[in-house]
Chain A
Amino acid sequence: MENTNNSNQLDHKTLTKSFHRWFWGALTCFSQEHMQTFGYMASMLPILKKLYPKHEDQVKAIKAYTAFFNTNPMLGTVIVGITASMEQARANGKEIDGETINDMRAGLMGPIAGIGDSLIDGTLIPILLGISLGMSSGGSPLGAIFYIVAWVLIAYFGQRFLYFRGYRFGDQAVSFLVGKQGAAIRRAIGVVGSMVVGGVLASWVNVTTSLKLRGTDGKVFLNLQNKLDSIYPGILTVIVTLFCWWLMTKKHVSAIWTMLILVVISLIGVLIGVFNPGLSY
């Protein structure tokens, strides 16, 4: 508080150490009660040690990070970077206390979690997986290797970028994500997500019926699957998907119960001859 010597500046090495601790340990000691709190404390430790030479100051400072924390661990990196820069400002005597830091963290973790889940889990991962699945057809390891390399590079350097951007711009760093422009970008990326998910469904899932109606002479006069394909290819796949979506979204049925309902539908379908995978040893 009284001095402005070198110990109150964070160097690149300390920041990198802090980032690595978040990258490898954000959720390692996860519990339902405190969620990412311990991952956060562990990654702030190098920062506090660098900024506060006195042990009692370090102990005082870590109290701010004992508060509950949970967000999307990928985009959440930016929040860790922001706190590093706020902590540095506090160590240099700026009017920032633990409460200010906590307000910022609490205010950001909700929106960042929502954006991160739809952006990373809902859009980026399905695109990467969709491409990789195509490369893996025929049992080739190529797709899996492509996914490993592409995702790990994006995740490591993307999170590193977010951490240092958070550190450099402080709490202005997120205006890009949660501001007006951020909302427009999110809507635009939502379009990419929806279209790719539709493409993944059409490329990889194929629900078909084996129902064939025969006349008295034994000739097939109705092949339901061919009829449906001539109306809209893959229509059964879309119907089953929308049915699952409707159950989960409108009827609030859990994913496990939705799967059990599919089991019942399949059983009835097999018994009345609508479904038949046509297998034998």
Chain B
Amino acid sequence: MTISWIQAAILGLFACLCSNSCMAGQAVGNYTIGRPLVGGLICGLILGNIQLGIACGVAMQLVYIALVTPGGTVSADVRAISYIGIPLAMVAISSQGLNPLGGSAANLAKSVGTLVGTVGTVLYYAVATMNLVWQSFGWKDVHNGKLDKLTAVNFGWPWISHAIFSFLPTMLFTYYGATAVTALRNALPMDGVAMMTLFTVGGMLPCVGIAILLRQIIGKAVDFIPFLVGFTLAASLHLNLVSVTVISLLFAVIMYEVEMAKESGPHDGLTSEGPTDDNEEDI
């Protein structure tokens, strides 16, 4: 599999749309186009192998299931994971001749994706820093009372930041990277220590993503219990995720009732029937 200049350029355009300081809005850009699962579908369409694209996207999505960016700090940026990592992983898997749906293809995808994840962080800070230039235009406009120009500052000028720090790097990395990845095949035998380590790490990387999520939701030791219950339901009883979610809703309702019973004082007059479900769907 090779990547042409046109394909590399389209990948670059998607990278502009989906970073954290994205051109397509947070909900659509960063949270939709940027998620590796969706990126896998888009890369699959661009490179002409949807099944392989989706398989890579699924594998990488697990590593980056927790993309929380508290206070605007990122550990990895989606533009590089989805639009540099997935295309290169697709090239690597097809040049190694692996079964796209096999576990080893997935582990290779995870390792390749994580290698470029750090590139994304650099690009993210580069775009955010260059945006300071457009913002300084904006402050001048506010000072001089030219309010109409604020729209261009917010929606127009950042395209230049992205052209330099999202479009160009993605295009170059995917075009030249694909050649390099293919050449690596001969250098690294599959049963050598390097490749075996790479595949083993690939299998463990999602644990880091899950651990980042746990850091968000676990405050004290007892909070591990629902986590382990969920794990046991799926690992030992082989329930799928929808079933686990339904069971967890039951515990959530009980938990809500207990918490509200503790607060015996009057509360703001919203109904107390099934608020967990309502709230979840509203947001």
Contact = CB atoms under 8 A, between A and B. Distances in A.
A129 B62 CA distance: 9
Contact of A203 (B52, B228, B234): B234
B233 A281 contact: no
B208 A258 contact: yes
A191 B54 CA distance: 30
A63 B153 CA distance: 16
Interface residues on B, range: 35 or more
Contacts of A188: 252-253, 255-256, 259, 276
Interface in B173-201: 189-191, 193, 195-197, 199-201
B227 A75 contact: no
Nearest to A141: B41
B37 A240 contact: no
Interface in B208-260: 208, 210-218, 223-224, 226-236, 239-242, 244-245, 247-249, 251-253, 255-256, 259-260
Contacts of A28: 21-23, 25, 154-155, 158
A262 B204 contact: yes
B71 A73 contact: no
Nearest to A233: B235
A262 B198 CA distance: 10
Interface stretch (B6-14, B142-150, B163-171): B142-150
Given A29-B157, A38-B150, A144 B236 contact: no
Given A181-B268, A195-B247, A197-B217, A30 B72 contact: yes
B122 interface: no
B87 interface: no
B216 A117 contact: yes
Contact of A202 (B26, B35, B158, B231): B231
A185 B279 contact: yes
Contact of B151 (A34, A42, A271): A42
B62 A205 contact: yes
Contacts of B50: 139, 141
A156 B31 CA distance: 12
Contact of B25 (A26, A262, A275): A26
A196 B248 contact: yes
A202 B27 contact: no
Contacts of A279: 104, 190-191, 195-196, 199
Q: Which of A30, A42, A137, A262 has the most CB of B within 10 A?
A: A30
Contact of B206 (A143, A204, A254): A204
A255 interface: yes
Interface string A36-70: 01110110010011000001101100110010001
A224 interface: no
B231 A34 contact: no
A211 interface: no
A255 B212 contact: yes
A227 to B, nearest CB: 16
B217 A255 contact: no
B142 A136 contact: no
Nearest to A258: B208
A62 B52 CA distance: 50
Interface in B18-36: 20-28, 30-32, 35
Contacts, number: 413
A83 interface: no
A241 B154 contact: no
A63 B143 CA distance: 9
B241 to A, nearest CB: 4
A121 B67 contact: yes
Nearest to A259: B208
A135 B226 CA distance: 24
A191 B142 contact: no
B151 to A, nearest CB: 6
B37 A133 contact: yes
Interface stretch (A5-13, A86-94, A147-155, A215-223): A147-155
A70 B234 CA distance: 38
A32 B211 contact: no
A137 B103 CA distance: 12
B207 A240 contact: yes
Contact of B58 (A41, A63, A123, A133): A133
Contacts of B25: 23-26, 28
Interface of B: 20-28, 30-32, 35, 37-38, 40-41, 44, 50-52, 54-55, 57-58, 61-62, 65-72, 75-76, 96-97, 100-101, 103-104, 107, 114, 118, 125, 127-129, 131-132, 134-135, 138-139, 142, 145, 147, 150-151, 153-155, 157-158, 189-191, 193, 195-197, 199-201, 203-208, 210-218, 223-224, 226-236, 239-242, 244-245, 247-249, 251-253, 255-256, 259-260, 263, 265, 267-268, 270, 272, 275-276, 279-283
Given A31-B21, A199-B239, 10 more contacts: A28-B21, A31-B131, A34-B132, A119-B283, A121-B66, A127-B245, A189-B252, A197-B210, A198-B229, A259-B208
17 contacts: A23-B25, A29-B138, A42-B151, A56-B145, A59-B142, A127-B241, A130-B245, A147-B35, A155-B32, A158-B282, A159-B27, A194-B223, A198-B234, A205-B62, A207-B203, A259-B208, A279-B104
